[in-house]
Amino acid sequence: MIPKQTEVVVVGAGPVGLAVAVSLAEAGRQVTVVDRQSAGANTSRAAVMHPRTLELLERIGVSKRLTELGIHVEQFSVADGNRTLVPLRFDRLPTAYPYVLMIPQNVTEQVLLERLTELGGSVHRPYVAAGVRQSADGAEVTLESGEVIKAQYVVAADGMHSKIRDLAGLGFSGDGTLPLNFTLADVKVEGGLPKEEVLLYFSKAGILVAAPLPDGNYRLVAEVEEAPEKPDVAYAQQLLDTRGPKERARVTEVIWGSRFRIHERVADRYRERRILLAGDAAHTHSPAGGQGMNLGLRDAVVLGEALATAVETGDESKLDEYATAGRAEAVRVVALAHRLTRLATVPAAVRPARNAALRLLAKLPRFRRGLAEQLAAIGHR
Ligand SMILES: Cc1cc2nc3c(=O)[nH]c(=O)nc-3n(C[C@H](O)[C@H](O)[C@H](O)COP(=O)(O)OP(=O)(O)OC[C@H]3O[C@@H](n4cnc5c(N)ncnc54)[C@H](O)[C@@H]3O)c2cc1C
C-alpha cells in the first residue's frame, strides 16, 4: 500500500532517487519513493565511479560494499596506439579512495536498494507521478493511478525528461545537443587490453574508450559518423582495429550495446519552494570523464542531509545552500565535460598536432595532477 502521507516524496528510483532516499532513511526520516517502471533497469550504463563520489557515499553506508564489487583502476591514460600521451595516476590523490571504481550502474542501483531495504525503506512500482502541487506548509504528488501522496518536500529525481521539474516551472536550458554521435558496447575481448587501466585512445580515425568492467568484460565508447542501434561483434572489432592498441584484441561477444547523443543543460534553479531537483533532472552533459551519475550521486547525499535537517528543525538554509552550490558544481562539470569532448573530437587534420601538444603538456606534473583531481572531483572540495 502506498502511504497517503509522508515527510519526503522522491519521484524516480534511479541511482539518484535511491541515494536521496537512503540518506533520508539513515537520518530516520519518512521517505516514499515511486518509480514508473515495474523493475529497475538491468543495464550497465554509467560504469565509472570517482573518488569524491565514494567519499560522499560513505556517509550513507554504501561505499565499502561498492568498492568490494567494482574494479579499482589506478591509472587512466590517453594513448595513441601503444604510445601513452597522458598518464593520469589516481593512486597518488589525497583521498581514502585513490582509484577510479569501475562498477556497472545496475550493480550500484542494487547496492543502494539493498541499503534502503536494510533501513526499512522500499520503492513503490509501477507508479507514474502525473501532478504536483504545493502550499505554504506542504506539497502533494498525484499519481496516474489516482492516489495522492502528501508530504513536506518533493524530490524530482525523475531523470532528464523530468515531469516534476517541468510542472514546477523550473527551466532546463543550455546549448542543446552537441552534433556528435556515440556508440557504446560492453564486450568480451581476448588479448590486447589491460585489466587495470582505463584507456582513451586518441587515434587518427577518432576516439575510443576501452575500460575494464568487473566481470572481465570491457566497455567500449567511440564517437562515430553514424552509430548503429546495436553494435555487433564486427563493428566493435573494427573500432578496436582502427583506433585501439597495436596488438590484436579479439572481440568475441557483445554483451550490451547502445548509442547516444549529447545534451548539455543545467536547470535554471534547483529549488522551487518545496520541490527540489537532483541528478539528470537537474543537469545533463557529455559522458566525457564519466561525470554524469557521479554528480547526481553527490547531489543526492547533500540534498538528503539538507532535507533531513529541514524536516527535523524547519531550518531550510541547507536547502538553499544545496540549490546554489549544487548548481554551481553542475555548471563546472558541464564545462569540463564539454572541453574534454571538444578536445577528443577535433577534426582529423588537427589530431596529430593535438596529440603532440598533449604529450608535451603531460610532461608537466602539475598538468597531470590537476586533470586527475578535476576528474576525481577532489580538486575543489
Ligand atoms: C545508454 C546509456 C549510457 C550511459 N553511460 C553513462 C556513462 O558511461 N557515464 C555516466 O556518468 N553516465 C552515463 N549515463 C547516464 C547515467 O545513466 C545517468 O546520469 C544516471 O542514470 C542519472 O541518474 P538519475 O537517477 O538522475 O536518473 P535516471 O537514472 O534516469 O532515473 C530516473 C528514474 O525516474 C523514473 N521516472 C521518470 N519519470 C517518472 C514519473 N513521472 N513518475 C515516476 N517515476 C519516473 C524512471 O523510471 C527512472 O527510474 C548513461 C545513460 C544511458 C542511457
Per-residue pLDDT of the chain (381 residues), as tens digits, is 899 999 999 999 999 999 999 999 999 999 999 999 999 988 999 999 999 999 999 999 999 999 999 999 999 999 999 999 999 999 999 999 999 999 999 999 999 999 999 999 999 999 999 999 998 889 999 999 999 999 999 999 999 999 999 999 999 987 667 788 999 999 999 999 999 999 999 999 999 999 999 999 999 999 999 999 999 999 999 999 999 998 889 999 999 999 998 989 999 999 999 999 999 999 999 888 888 999 999 999 999 999 999 999 999 999 999 999 999 999 999 999 999 999 999 999 999 999 999 999 999 999 999 999 998 888 766
- Residue 100 φ/ψ, nearest 5 degrees: -95, 130
C-beta separation of 377 from 53 below 8 A = yes
Q: How far is the CA of 280 from the centre of ligand 1 (A)?
A: 7
Q: Is the CB of 163 under 6 A from ligand 1?
A: yes
- Ligand 1: which of 160, 229, 293, 294 to mutate, judged by most atoms within 8 Å of the beta carbon? 293
Environment class of 366 (CB within 10 Å of its CB; exposed 0-12, middle 13-18, buried 19+)? exposed
If you measure from the C-alpha of residue 311 to the centroid of ligand 1, how many angstroms do you get, rounded to a whole number? 27
Instruction: Report the atom number in ligand 1 closest to the C-alpha of 128.
Output: 42
**89 contacts: CB under 8 Å, gap ≥ 6:** 74, 75, 368, 372
pLDDT at 176: 66
Residue 35 Cβ inside 6 Å of ligand 1? The answer reads yes
**Residue to probe by mutation, ligand 1, list 9, 23, 36, most atoms within 8 Å of CB:** 36
Cα separation, 58 vs 65, in Å, equals: 10
Q: In this predicted structure, what is the pLDDT of residue 78?
A: 95
H or E segment and range at residue 129: strand 129-134
Q: Which pLDDT value is given to residue 179?
A: 82
Q: Which of 50, 277, 280 to mutate for ligand 1's pocket (most ligand atoms within 8 Å of CB)?
A: 280
- CA–CA separation, 294 vs 240, rounded Å? 27
Residues with Cβ < 8 Å from 88, sequence gap 6 or more?
75, 76, 77, 78, 368, 371, 372, 375
Residue 160 Cα to ligand 1 middle (Å) = 7
**Rounded to the nearest whole angstrom, what is the distance from the C-alpha of residue 352 to the centroid of ligand 1?**
36
Contact 70, 212 (CB under 8 A): no
DSSP per-residue string spanning 176-238: EEEEEEEEEEEEEEESSS-SSEEEEEEETTEEEEEEE-TTS-EEEEEEESS--SS--HHHHHH
**CB 114, CB 62: distance < 8 Å:** no
Instruction: Please report, as a single letter, which amino acid is at residue 65.
Output: R
Other CB atoms within a 10 A radius of the CB of residue 268 amount to 13
Placement of cell 547502445 in the chain: 258
